[in-house]
Amino acid sequence: MITSRKISAIDLFCGIGGLSYGLEKVGISVKAGIDIDESCRYTFETNCNTKFINKDIQKIKGSDLDSLYGNENIKILVGCAPCQPFSSYTYKKNKDKDERWQLLYEFARLVKESNPVVVSMENVPTLLNFKEAPVFYDFVDKLKKLGYFVWYDVIYSPDYGIPQKRKRLVLLASKLGEIEILPPTHTPENYLSVKDAIGHLEKINSGESSKKDFIHKASKLSEKNLKRIKQSKPGGSWKKDWDDNLKLACHTSEKGKTYVSVYGRMKWDEPSPTMTTFCTGIGNGRFGHPEQDRAISLREAAILQTFPEDYKFADNIDELKFGKASKHIGNAVPPKLGEIIGKSIINHLKEYNYGEK
């Protein structure tokens, strides 16, 4: 067993700590999380019990990371660069303007300067498609030139006990030898469903919050949207379920006809759709509760992302910023995926007896 030296990680682009929380849960000590968004500090530090460094990664040096790791630790560097610039739409519109394209290059620079034993990166699968802007492949090539064995693939979250149809690109790289993620822990026969995850929560109405848990709060629906959700069926669509007078003008356009999931309800017996930064609004996807006439609450979104039910997002309801919390939750790495990545790293280090004296 690896007992002589502590496995320590630094989490770049840490957000509210989904990845860090998962790593900590399996025994990897997270020395710090680094993120440019100061609004993530409370949630990260309160739940992950480590320091949050509010700094632009471009202003971080390898020596800064080394001072955080300490001399006796096995160094792991992980991160999930913001995925917005990697969408095909954003690339086409802003490929010459969006400075966030540089973040993976900065990640590679810090790998070179700090020389961690293992590197892990998580992001959107569309990052693999950019032949005309090969930022991901540049990242992989850089790691290989630095002597890393690199593995990457797109994983389907339900395969790992996450009740959400989320697909993510996961990369693992090691100086020791071949490395890869653990094999799936679940099959379609035992995927966790929406009901498994949130079916036990207290019933609330549109615009209400639970008296037991103020994070279990739903956005307020307009009168017309309340009529729409009442006519919506689990797994259905506005095309079939709604009266014509409830349909939006955009639905009549050719493009609008393709967005059949907006204003839709989730199904109890399946994993949820992918949580996004707008996952608590019914007009942004299939984010309606399967039974109750409302969008899913902040707590439900967090649970579907596999955050524990006591994960703190604010001290009290007066300090809760609903839109900001929704964005934080949607942007997060599911903690359960963090656990899987952490276990994969630990098993890899054990395989090579690394860290034993």
83 given a catalytic annotation? yes
The rounded distance, in Å, linking the Cα atoms of 247 and 230 is: 13
Other CB atoms within a 10 A radius of the CB of residue 92 amount to 9
Q: Using alpha carbons only, how large is the chain's radius of gyration in Å?
A: 21
The rounded distance, in Å, linking the Cα atoms of 303 and 308 is: 6
Q: Which of 192, 189, 156, 149 is nearest to 171 (CA)?
A: 149
Lookup result for tokens 């524990």: 308
The rounded distance, in Å, linking the Cα atoms of 100 and 334 is: 22
The rounded distance, in Å, linking the Cα atoms of 227 and 23 is: 43
The rounded distance, in Å, linking the Cα atoms of 278 and 274 is: 11
Q: Which of 57, 59, 104 is nearest to 85 (CA)?
A: 104
Is residue 150 within 8 A of residue 173, CB to CB? The reply is yes
The rounded distance, in Å, linking the Cα atoms of 156 and 185 is: 11
Q: What are phi and psi of 186, to 5 degrees?
A: -130, 160
Q: Which residues have C-beta within 8 Å of that of residue 275, sequence separation ≥ 6?
A: 164, 166, 301, 304, 305, 329, 330
CA 91 to chain centre: 21
Is residue 52 within 8 A of residue 41, CB to CB? The reply is yes
User: Given 80, 83, 250, 279, which residue is catalytic?
Assistant: 83
| Structure-token pair, residue 135 | 């930022």
Q: What are phi and psi of 47, to 5 degrees?
A: -95, -30
Query: Would you please indicate which residues are annotated as catalytic (active-site) residues?
Result: 83
